[in-house]
């Protein structure tokens, strides 16, 4: 069979093949996850398609009436296409046909959408992005019902709407189609899949290599540039899971139509890595909420359900089933069926979470997003260390920002995005003004703020040009460590942060060690916030609570949104300043900060200058040093004890850290920790790779034969 002839006889052949369909037809006859999903879908769809057809003239912007109706239409067509294939009931095919007939009448009458605002205009929708998503779904529906249609029906639909939309998205929108950007991926996916179905190999070529087929634009170039070598997407996981959808969808269609392209092998399996990385960048089912991220979004997102299914279909890795099981839903595709069957048989094994530095940028050398995990289980405690590049317009000014997760909860927190998705009363459901004025600002993060100004002066374009350098990454059994530096976040101030996760169950050690150094020839104010979740329990120092009235901490760069609730002046009474809080997860957390000269402590809560109550009232402690040139914050966050009000016991509510200090001996950095029981530890590390080092404590010499190591010293 020639390729053309083959396409004429075999449908569907995009994400699903005819073989997939045959298997699905069998699968719905036996009880299990797949049958359940099928019956649910069918019940919902049968109700929906009884409604009168509704293909209105485009009028409203995102969230508005016609926008939502057209979105709903492509979803219903997509489902109807699949149900037609599975059930062979013509009512589903007729539904798709009838809707597409309406679109075939409407589309030729359209010009640019009346609400067009973006550089990516649409006709059915205010944005070309939505138009591409429409076609990605619709072409799959059409492919599914094609065998049911007469030649003339096909002609009507293809000429009336499918070809015009594809041409609009490609030839008529070259700036988007050729762009190495997520919008471009949706467009190339839509046009390329349409090319397969309508037997236009030329469209497929353009989708893969750009309108001029040179490879400077198109899907392959996007694959080259939008993910780093280990599959990290530079806007972070919240947008990564969205970006993933057109990649895996088109790739699956390419694989089914042109397996010789070995698309999933491409670039050392970068697509499979991207799927896996999306799952890796989560804790307790939710994505790490760096940059503009809705914090409720997690691995059960539909995009990752598709991604995991496709990855499982290719690799058969049973760890992926663990993620699929947590997703709690299966999809009606060939891969979805394989997942459902495997889960029905209980074939899942524990997904292995990894301590990993996810290099950022196309070559993976523009900084990194570092994830330190105490072990590979879901239950591990996790440090994230954001030494990434800016992440474009959705990026936050949080170079080398830190988060900590433990016992199922976020402990050192990231605000995420200030947004109530689709809640019209909250700024139309869009990003709130406070997203710019607070959530993106440096002070909203657990990283250093110099002179009450955000990194790069809060200018995205400047941020886009720079990134931190990952200096050190080490994955020892007991200590996971990363170190990074940047000297472009502030003019004339170099920043270096080293963070280590130390977990030794047999020693009751659950520590995050953090050393943040600023270097400058001129004097500055250095603020290091620790945003935390929980209820303040105690501090080991005197503080002045602002009990009778509250005022904002500052006037700009996010400081205007922080109420100053208490503060402690410099005092050399304690060797360490200790603050303890209790998280709802029932554990205590104590921040132990070396009481460096002039160290002040501020207690804050978000919500000032927020007249519409758009912000969550999250709390923070800010370590502050004024008028400093070179300065160093040395901290140890200890997780300890248990509060169990239900069973009425409380264990170890007091931090055990008695003493903490940092010093350097030659190339060796040493953090010295002493506990109340007089046990003593040194975390030693160096970055002279390959060289063995040593250091001396109390006259005793210790050899350091690896990058980082925890030493237990003899008791005093």
Q: Which residues are catalytic?
A: 239, 394
The helix-helix angle for 128-145 and 182-197 (nearest 10°) equals 20
Phi, psi (rounded to 5 degrees) for 101:
-60, -40
Task: State the angle between helix axes of 266-280 and 302-315 in degrees (0 to 180), rounded to the nearest 10.
Answer: 130
Residue 163 backbone phi and psi in degrees, to 5? -65, -45
Cβ closest to its own copies, residue 123 vs residue 614: 614
Q: Which is nearer to its own copies, 316 or 328 (CB)?
A: 328
C-alpha to C-alpha distances, 309 to 248, 249, 315, 324, 327, nearest whole angstrom: 10, 11, 10, 8, 11
Q: What does 650 interact with, of its own copies, Zn ion, none (CB < 5 to 8 A by kind)?
A: its own copies
Least distance between its own copies and beta carbon 534 (Å): 11
Shortest spacing between CB 217 and its own copies, in angstroms = 29
Provide the minimum distance between the beta carbon of 536 and its own copies in the complex, in angstroms, as a whole number: 4
Q: Which is nearer to its own copies, 149 or 293 (CB)?
A: 293
* Shortest CB 550 distance to its own copies, Å: 4
Nearer to its own copies by Cβ, of 105 and 556: the residue is: 556
Q: Rule CB under 5 A: which of 354-373 touch Zn ion?
A: none
HEC assignment per residue over 194-245: HHHHCCCHHHHHHHHHCCCCCCCCCHHHHHHHCECCCCCECCCHHHHHHHHH
Q: Which stretch binds Zn ion (CB under 5 A): 126-134, 390-398, 482-490, 622-630?
A: 390-398
Judged by beta carbon distances under 5 to 8 A according to partner kind, the member of its own copies, Zn ion, none in contact with residue 527 is none
Nearest to its own copies of 201, 428 (CB atom): 428
**Residue 595 interacting partner from Zn ion, its own copies, none (CB closer than 5 to 8 Å by kind):** none
Instruction: Return residues touching its own copies (CB under 8 A).
Output: 294-298, 300-302, 420-426, 429, 535-538, 545, 547-552, 563, 565-566, 580, 582, 603, 605, 607-613, 616-617, 643, 645-650, 653-654
Task: Answer yes or no whether residue 297 interacts with Zn ion by CB under 5 A.
Answer: no
Maximum CA extent, the chain: 92
The listed partner (its own copies, Zn ion, none) that binds 421, CB under 5 to 8 Å by sort, is its own copies
123 DSSP 8-state letter = S
In the list its own copies, Zn ion, none, the entry touching 389 (Cβ below 5 to 8 angstroms by class) is none
Number of residues in contact with Zn ion under rule CB under 5 A: 2
Q: Which is nearer to its own copies, 256 or 585 (CB)?
A: 585
Q: Which does 396 bind (CB under 5 to 8 A by kind): Zn ion, its own copies, none?
A: Zn ion
Q: How far is the CB of 644 from its own copies (least distance, A)?
A: 8
* Smallest gap from residue 444 Cβ to Zn ion (A): 6
Separation CA 270–CA 592 (nearest Å):
41
Q: What is the CA radius of gyration of the chain?
A: 28
CB of 415 to Zn ion, least distance (A): 6
Among 206, 396, 497, 669, binds Zn ion (CB under 5 A): 396
Which does residue 430 touch among its own copies, Zn ion, none (CB within 5 to 8 A, set by kind)? none
List all residues 6 or more positions away from 365 whose beta carbon is below 8 Å from its beta carbon. Answer: 359
Question: Applying CB under 5 A, which part among 273-281, 309-317, 394-402, 498-506 lies near Zn ion?
Answer: 394-402
Cβ(191)–Cβ(207) below 8 Å: yes
- Residue 582 binding: pick among Zn ion, its own copies, none (C-beta 5-8 Å cut-off by kind): its own copies
Rounded to an integer, what distance in angstroms lies between the CA atom of residue 432 and that of residue 310?
A: 35
Torsion of CA 468, 688, 482, 495, to 10 degrees: -40
Show the binding pattern over residues 403-432: x = contacts Zn ion (CB under 5 A), - = does not: -----------x------------------
Nearer to its own copies, 1 or 425 (CB): 425
* Closest CB to Zn ion among residues 97, 396: 396
Judged by CB under 5 A, which stretch of 368-376, 392-400, 513-521, 695-703 contacts Zn ion?
392-400
Q: Which helix or strand (DSSP H or E) is residue 280 part of? A: helix 266-280
* Contacting range for Zn ion; rule: CB under 5 A; set: 266-274, 393-401, 425-433, 483-491: 393-401
Q: Minimum distance from CB of 637 to its own copies (Å)?
A: 17
Q: Find, among 188, 186, 404, 198, the residue nearest to 288 by Cα.
A: 404
* CA 395 to each of CA 356, 390, 391, 516: distance values in angstroms, whole numbers, following the listed order: 21, 5, 4, 22
Q: Which residue is nearest to Zn ion (CB)?
A: 396
Q: For strand 619-628 and strand 479-490, is the pairing parallel, antiparallel, or unpaired?
A: unpaired
CB 83 within 8 A of CB 92: yes
653 binds, options its own copies, Zn ion, none, Cβ within 5 to 8 A by partner type: its own copies
109 binds, among its own copies, Zn ion, none (CB under 5 to 8 A by kind): none
> DSSP characters for 382-401?
EEEEEE----GGG--S-TTE
Nearest distance in Å: CB 384, Zn ion: 11
Token readout for 160 is 């009336």
- The backbone torsions φ and ψ at residue 685, rounded to the nearest 5 degrees and listed phi first, read -150, 160
Residue 359 three-state SS: strand
Contact, 209 vs 192, CB < 8 A? no
Residue with smaller CB distance to Zn ion, 414 or 618: 414
- The number of residues making up the chain comes to 716
Tell me the angle at which helices 128-145 and 65-87 cross, rounded to the nearest 10 degrees: 20
Kindly tell me which of 3 and 535 has the beta carbon lying closer to its own copies: 535
What three-state secondary structure class fits 516? Answer: strand
What burial class does residue 150 get, using C-beta atoms within 10 Å of its C-beta: 0-12 exposed, 13-18 middle, 19+ buried? exposed
Write out the residues near Zn ion by the rule CB under 5 A.
396, 414
């Amino acid at each position: 069979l020639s390729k053309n002839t083959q396409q004429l006889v075999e449908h569907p052949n995009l994400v699903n093949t005819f073989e997939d369909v045959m298997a699905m037809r069998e699968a719905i006859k036996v009880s299990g996850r797949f049958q359940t999903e099928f019956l649910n879908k069918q019940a919902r769809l049968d109700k929906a398609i009884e409604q009168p057809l509704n293909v209105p003239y485009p009028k409203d912007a995102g969230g508005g009436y016609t926008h939502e109706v057209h979105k709903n239409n492509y979803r219903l067509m997509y489902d109807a296409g699949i149900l037609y294939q599975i059930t062979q009931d013509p009512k589903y095919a007729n539904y798709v046909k009838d809707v597409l007939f309406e679109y075939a009448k409407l589309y030729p009458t359209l010009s640019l959408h009346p609400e067009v605002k973006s550089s990516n205009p649409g006709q059915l929708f205010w944005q070309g992005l939505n138009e591409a998503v429409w076609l990605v779904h619709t072409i799959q529906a059409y492919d599914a019902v094609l065998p049911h249609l007469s030649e003339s029906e096909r002609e009507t639909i293809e000429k009336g709407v499918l070809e015009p939309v594809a041409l609009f998205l490609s030839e008529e929108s070259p700036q988007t189609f050729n762009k190495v950007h997520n919008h471009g991926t949706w467009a190339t996916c839509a046009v390329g899949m349409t090319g397969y179905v309508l037997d236009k190999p030329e469209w497929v070529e353009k989708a893969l290599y750009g309108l001029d087929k040179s490879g400077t634009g198109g899907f392959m170039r996007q694959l080259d540039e939008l993910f780093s070598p280990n599959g990290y997407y530079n806007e972070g996981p919240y947008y990564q899971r969205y970006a993933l959808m057109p990649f895996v969808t088109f790739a699956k269609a390419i694989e089914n139509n042109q397996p010789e392209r070995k698309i999933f092998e491409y670039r050392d399996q970068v697509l499979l890595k991207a799927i896996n990385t999306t799952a890796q960048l989560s804790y307790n089912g939710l994505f790490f909420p760096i940059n503009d991220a809705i914090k409720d979004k997690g691995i059960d997102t539909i995009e990752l359900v598709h991604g995991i299914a496709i990855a499982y279909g290719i690799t058969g890795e049973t760890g992926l089933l663990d993620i699929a099981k947590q997703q709690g839903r299966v999809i009606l595709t060939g891969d979805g069926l394989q997942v459902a069957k495997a889960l029905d048989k209980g074939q899942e094994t524990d997904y292995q979470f990894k301590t990993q530095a996810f290099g950022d940028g196309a070559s993976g050398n523009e900084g990194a997003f570092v994830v330190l995990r105490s072990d590979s289980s879901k239950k591990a405690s996790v440090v994230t260390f954001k030494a990434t590049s800016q992440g474009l317009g959705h990026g936050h000014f949080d170079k080398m920002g830190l988060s900590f997760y433990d016992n199922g909860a976020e402990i050192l927190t990231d605000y995420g995005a200030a947004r109530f998705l689709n809640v019209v009363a909250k700024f139309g459901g869009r990003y709130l003004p406070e997203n710019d004025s607070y959530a993106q600002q440096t002070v909203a993060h657990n990283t250093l703020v110099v002179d009450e100004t955000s990194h790069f002066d809060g200018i995205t374009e400047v941020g886009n040009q720079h990134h931190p350098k990952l200096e050190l990454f080490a994955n020892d059994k007991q200590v996971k460590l990363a170190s990074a530096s940047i000297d472009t976040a502030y003019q004339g101030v170099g920043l270096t942060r080293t963070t280590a996760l130390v977990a030794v169950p047999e020693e009751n050690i659950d520590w995050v060690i953090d050393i943040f150094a600023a270097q400058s020839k001129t004097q500055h104010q250095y603020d290091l916030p620790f945003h935390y979740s929980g209820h303040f329990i105690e501090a080991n120092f005197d503080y002045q609570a602002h009990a009778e009235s509250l005022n904002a901490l500052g006037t700009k760069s996010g400081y205007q949104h922080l109420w100053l609730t208490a503060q402690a002046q410099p005092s050399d009474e304690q060797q360490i300043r200790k603050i303890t809080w209790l998280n709802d997860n029932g554990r205590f957390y104590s921040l132990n900060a070396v009481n460096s000269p002039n160290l002040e402590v501020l207690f804050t809560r978000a919500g000032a200058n927020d007249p519409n109550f758009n912000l969550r009232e999250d709390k923070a402690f800010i370590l502050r040093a004024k008028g400093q040139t070179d300065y160093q914050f040395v901290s140890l966050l200890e997780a300890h004890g248990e509060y169990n009000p239900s069973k009425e016991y409380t264990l170890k509510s007091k931090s055990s850290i008695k003493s903490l200090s940092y010093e350097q001996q030659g190339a060796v950095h040493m953090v010295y920790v002493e506990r109340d029981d007089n046990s003593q530890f040194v975390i030693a590390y160096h970055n002279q790779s390959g060289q063995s080092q040593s250091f001396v404590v109390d006259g005793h010499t210790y050899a350091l034969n690896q990058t980082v190591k925890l030493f237990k010293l003899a008791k005093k």
